Structure 1
Amino acid sequence: MTVRAKKHLGQHFLKDEQIASDIANTLTEKGYDTVLEIGPGMGVMTKYLLEKKYTTHVIEIDTESVEYLQNTYLNLTPRIISADFLKINITDYFEDQFAIVGNFPYNISSQIVFKTLEHRDRIPEFSGMFQKEVAQRIAEKKGSKTYGILSVLAQAFYDVEYLFTVPPTVFNPPPKVDSGVIRMLRKEDYSLPVDEKLFFRVVKTAFGQRRKMLRSSLKALNLSDSLRETELFTKRPEQLSVEEFINLTSLIEQDAH
């Protein structure tokens, strides 16, 4: 039995054994005993994960792939979750720390990162393959056009490293673009010294109008005139580092009191 790649699920099956093994090997195996692979497809990477000392679980939305995995990896069967990662309640499945790995469907890869950030208290490590420009964006530093919401929010809680680029030819069907693999390691202190909801809101609002200075783009936050005159507010969002966004949020918090 082979599984047909389905366009509506954004499936591109990895067929290169070496790259599958390389991605499995990006996990450091530190601080967790459990790994969740998202979107295993026909298990090209799964078999390398199963060789490791941690316990591998997989989550797959495609029922045809689930059936293939059940027939091919018999000892994995009780740990195959037939569901949509974006819709599950993570605490129903994982009580302790676990890492995430995967060759992520391009159309939902950013949402997978946002869900990981939401559950960062459970996820010390995250490694996987994205469309190259998305992978670069997550790892990008300030000052670049690709630096944005994903970059700031991911790097507030994780150290992000761009590891390697993967050509389209190693997939079936081949996508139209290169892919990139990144690893995110949770910071030792991954709590922020400011209100985290406000931090998320400030970052999203600022990049919502990325060409404007912060004094204009953050108008909706009802800032005092004196605060809007400070130097930080004459900058555009891509000029601010993660630390500066944290400082910005702190100033806005103080301004509200």
Structure 2
Amino acid sequence: MEHRPKKRFGQNFLTDIHVVEEILAAAALEPRDRVLEIGPGLGALTDRMLPMVHSLHVMELDRELVARLEDRPEPQLRVHAGDALRLDWPALLVEPPYKLVANLPYNISSQILFKILDHRHLFSRLVLMFQKEVGDRLCAPPGGRDYGILSVLCRNGFDIRRVLRVPPGAFYPAPKVHSVVLLFETLPQPRLALRDERFFRRVVKGAFSQRRKTLRNSLAAAGLGFADLDGMLEGIGIDPRRRAETLSLQEFGALTEALWKNQANFEGGCTAASE
């Protein structure tokens, strides 16, 4: 049955067998593995993974592709129809850890990453395809324009490395951008010992909210400012005139801890649980 790619679902189906094999090599699949695939499409990865693993869970939004998947005879295949951003991952993935292997739809890749961060404990390893610009941001060190919110948040929970670059011709239809495959290895514990990870995320987002401005001004604009903000920053060795993109992960950890202790002074009376 022929399937016409749907632009609204961001469908660019992987067709290059070499790329498939490189992804599988990075995933290091074993017969006991439980695997999640988001957006299986026409099955380039699904077909190869099914005979290799204990179980394969797939999340698919396109009803035509869901029907195809549900018609397959393999007992180890678990089909979850719906939007991966809305599905209840802990309720569906009840035997962690899982490996997550996917050619992510580019229009939701950043949102999927935030959901992964929320459920990091479910996964031991992730091998994910991104638009090259997103991949560059995830791997970026401090100090450049690519370094941003996801660079910091993902580095706290994962070791990340680039597996390979993928040209447009590896897909049908060919996208207008290049792609990259990244390997995420989940750390046994996050690099930072945080009191509240939601508060850490809020601090990082606030710091980058106006990235052309100084850290002092960005934090104040995000409701994290107070009268002696400069003194607090200088007390932890951070110049208030720096920009968020220059801070290391460890400096973001120190900033979060200092702001936590000063939260009663925030402009607007913000609380630690706020997003």
Query: Could you tell which deviates more after superposition, 137-146 or 106-115?
Result: 137-146
Q: Which residue of 2 aligns with 1:115?
A: 115
Q: Distance in 2 between matches of 1:44 and 1:23?
A: 11
Query: Could you tell which deviates more after superposition, 95-104 or 216-225?
Result: 216-225
Q: Distance in 1 between matches of 2:146 and 2:253?
A: 20
Q: Which residue of 2 aligns with 1:196?
A: 197
Partner of 1:182, secondary structure, is: strand
Partner of 2:129, secondary structure, is: strand
CA deviations over 1:123-148 (Å, ceiling 9, x no partner): 22221111011011111111110110
How far does residue 79 in structure 1 lie from its aligned partner after superposition?
A: 0.7
Q: Which residue of 2 aligns with 1:239?
A: 246
Equivalent residues of 2:54, 2:76 under 8 A apart: no
Q: Which residue of 1 aligns with 2:67?
A: 67
Residue 213, structure 1, aligned to residue 218, structure 2: no
Residue 134, structure 1, aligned to residue 134, structure 2: yes
Q: TM-score, normalised by structure 1?
A: 0.93
Letter paired with 1:243: Q
Letter paired with 1:241: S
Equivalent residues of 2:103, 2:130 under 8 A apart: yes
Equivalent residues of 1:70, 1:77 under 8 A apart: no
Letter paired with 1:210: R
Q: TM-score, normalised by structure 2?
A: 0.87
**Cα gap change, 1:65 to 1:46, in 2 (>3 Å):** same
Letter paired with 1:153: L
Equivalent residues of 1:140, 1:147 under 8 A apart: yes
Partner of 1:45, secondary structure, is: helix
Q: Distance in 2 between matches of 1:116 and 1:91?
A: 11
Partner of 1:74, secondary structure, is: coil
Q: Distance in 1 between matches of 2:244 and 2:183?
A: 24
Residue 88, structure 1, aligned to residue 87, structure 2: yes
Letter paired with 2:212: R
Q: Distance in 1 between matches of 2:44 and 2:75?
A: 14
Query: Could you tell which deviates more after superposition, 18-27 or 128-137?
Result: 18-27
Where does 1:1-257 land on structure 2 (aligned, <5 Å)?
1-29=1-29, 33-71=33-71, 73-75=72-74, 79-95=78-94, 96-190=96-190, 192-194=192-194, 195-219=196-220, 220-225=223-228, 226-230=231-235, 231-232=237-238, 233-256=240-263
Unaligned runs of 5+ in 2: 265-275
Equivalent residues of 1:223, 1:252 under 8 A apart: no
Letter paired with 1:80: V
Alignment RMSD (CA, Å): 1.9
Unaligned runs of 5+ in 1: none
Equivalent residues of 2:55, 2:76 under 8 A apart: no
Partner of 2:35, secondary structure, is: strand
Q: Distance in 2 between matches of 1:29 and 1:215?
A: 46
How far does residue 229 in structure 1 lie from its aligned partner after superposition?
A: 4.4
Letter paired with 1:84: D
Q: Distance in 2 between matches of 1:224 and 1:198?
A: 20
Q: Distance in 2 between matches of 1:126 and 1:24?
A: 11
Q: Distance in 2 between matches of 1:113 and 1:256?
A: 28
CA deviations over 1:128-180 (Å, ceiling 9, x no partner): 11101101111111111011011111111111111110000111110001000
How far does residue 206 in structure 1 lie from its aligned partner after superposition?
A: 0.8
Q: Distance in 2 between matches of 1:2 and 1:151?
A: 39
**Cα gap change, 1:77 to 1:9, in 2 (>3 Å):** farther
> Number of matched residues?
255
Letter paired with 2:84: F
Partner of 1:108, secondary structure, is: helix
Among all aligned residue pairs of Structure 1 and Structure 2, give the percentage whose two residues are the same amino acid: 40
Equivalent residues of 1:69, 1:77 under 8 A apart: no
